[in-house]
Chains A and B, each alone.
Chain A
Amino acid sequence: MIALRLEPREHTPVWLNMLLPLLAVLATLVICSGLIKLAGASVMAAYAKLFLSALSTRFNLVETAVKATPLVFTGLAVTVAFRAKFWNIGAEGQLLAGAMAAAFIGARQGLPAWSLVPAMIAGGAAAGALWAVVPAALKTRYKVDDVVTTLLLNFVIFYGMMALLDGPWKDPLSGYPDSPDIRMAAEFPILLKATRLHLGVLIAALCTPLVWLLMSKTTLGFSITAVGENPRAASYAGMSISGVILLSALISGALAGLAGASEVGGLHFQVMAGISPGYGYTGIVIAMLARLNPLGVIPAAFFFAVIITGAEAMSRATGVPVFLADVIQGTALVTMLIALLFNQYRVRLRRVSHE
């Protein structure tokens, strides 16, 4: 009999680190091709539509970058939190908090025009940070499990937002649950003529190296990783575990809040029910595929932006349900998790004899 045995690895070769996410994605696509077959479509045709439509023209490419922007923010948000083992499954809610703050600020008539965009960015980040500090404080002060609270708080703020849209923010004329439009001066500047490439895309691109610097070059980043990996040792080394978790929650929430502010300021100019089709949850998949490395977030976010944009075109052309994009996300998270095993362990096949 041949037995599968896992042996701990001393260290991981660099090429393996780069290869693992690719392997996971490849495995995901192979698994999901079964679903395409079930839907009665040609696997090649469906995948061609899924991947190529988002990349086919310059315009579509820019659109994909715009789509990737909130995913970069939530991916970074989850990265920072998970590094500290603060299980922030609440990027979705923090995004909504940031979006609501930005929509509120952007519609203020009393503010000078020049201040609107910076105030929306700052307000969105602050609102997200504040919403993330609630579960972090509950965890550090009352030992309340962070996974459950961040998840439940997503529902609290979603219904809170819907109450606003159904009440004070309801359009008095049409009765639609859309918040009032932000002022013209509050709309994020467009960076490339005749496209939707807005300031938020640039901020996301800038945040990525900044978060990388923070995580790998600063004491705080080092403390966050230390608390995540070995809280006891970090505590002996004189770090305040609660303080570090609260700080990581603040940064994580602020990044997720920026996602919301950027969607409102650069894309929708208002808040509506569907402002986030689960960007916060996709952020978890992205952060894991990026192996919690901020620099890996951009390619991972771009990959999912391609899939999310391409799914509509694929569905129209081949009849495969658009929700294949959701299945791919879930499968990718699972396959990546399994791929990480190769990172920690060597798989050895051994002949074993029965005694």
Chain B
Amino acid sequence: MNEILAQVFQVGFFAALIRIATPLVFGTIGELFAERSGVLNLGIEGTMMLSAMTGFSTAYFTGSLWLGILAAMATGILAGLLMALLTVSLGLSQHVSGIGTTLLCSGLSFFFYRLIFGQPSSIPNIKPFDVVPIPGLSAIPVIGPILFDQFALVYLAMAIVPLSAWVLYRTPWGLNLRTVGENPDAAYSAGVSVTAMRYQALMIAGALMGLAGAFLSMAQFNAYTFGVISGRGWVCIALIVFGQWSPWKSAAGALLFAFIDALQLRLQASSIINVPYEVFLMMPFVFTIVGMALVSRNARAPDALLKPFRKEER
């Protein structure tokens, strides 16, 4: 047992944990904006797929990783606009709209990837993002290499949690957004446009989901594959329930998930426990379900979540 612990819990393990948590933080905070405005965005998985593809392809052809990031965010915003059109303007079922968006976006990502790259014998790849050590801070023992010797996008993810908490709880815009998600009638009476707020929320959500997808195909890995997201979008939705719709708690959930994911990766690599590696791949999903079961009874979703808002029917 001690041998396992010594093998697993090294500085490298925690640095990997932070990297695994990064796309989850982007996705979770993005989804949080959508849900706090009253829209469950089940398009997240497909949005991440498509953004991972467009980001990667843009970087592949332009040679600029940051242009790739922009393309991925633009893709995410477009997918968010589709979701907004369906659920906000047309007031359609959020569940089915989200599944439709995911099926459509993942279909498009397969289609265009094949159209652009054909079926080459080796997977096209790019030179992914490099780590950017922060001078001074990265030299701190233990904490330095874990937190301050990472990709630029990791620092962005670290900043986005407090930033989103500030925007949601400390700004008038955030107050409006939360009111639209809790009590759209009241927001409407106070002169807030429910439609505009939800469109904005879904666009921000899409941009962040785009970042999440791009991180996977351009930083964590150096290529786009059909399995690049493999359920991480769905996990983000679970993390919000687990985090009770709070940015801080949801980000903590992302760290917890990343801990289990990093752990299973280490256990896969170490030959101490001899079972097929797929058993370890299963672990994070099982833990996520158990985690949701533990908190769901007390979790309270935004009141207007899943409910379309129509002025005429007030």
Contact = CB atoms under 8 A, between A and B. Distances in A.
A284 B99 contact: yes
B103 interface: yes
A281 B111 CA distance: 18
Nearest to A144: B296
Interface stretch (A15-23, A153-161, A188-196, A232-240): A153-161
Nearest to A138: B293
A324 interface: yes
Interface residues of B, number: 47
B281 interface: yes
Contacts of A321: 110-111, 114-115
Contact of A143 (B230, B238, B296): B296
Which residue of A87, A144, A148 has the most chain B CB atoms within 10 A of its CB atom?
Answer: A148
Contact of A341 (B92, B106, B292): B92
A337 B93 contact: yes
B251 to A, nearest CB: 18
Contact of B276 (A149, A163, A323, A329): A163
Interface string A289-332: 00000000000000000000000000000000111101111110
A162 B276 CA distance: 8
A27 interface: no
B42 interface: yes
A148 B92 contact: no
Q: How large is the interface on A (under 10, 10 to 19, 20 to 34, 35 or more residues)?
A: 35 or more
Interface in B188-215: none
A333 B231 contact: no
Interface residues of A, dominant DSSP: helix
Nearest to B119: A321
B304 interface: no
A143 to B, nearest CB: 5
Interface of B: 42, 46, 82, 86, 90, 92-93, 95-97, 99-108, 110-111, 114-115, 230-231, 234-235, 237-238, 241, 275-279, 281-282, 285-286, 288-289, 292-293, 296-297, 299
Interface of A: 35, 38-39, 87, 89, 138, 142-145, 147-149, 151-153, 155-156, 159-160, 162-164, 166-167, 281, 284-285, 288, 321-324, 326-331, 333-334, 337-338, 340-341
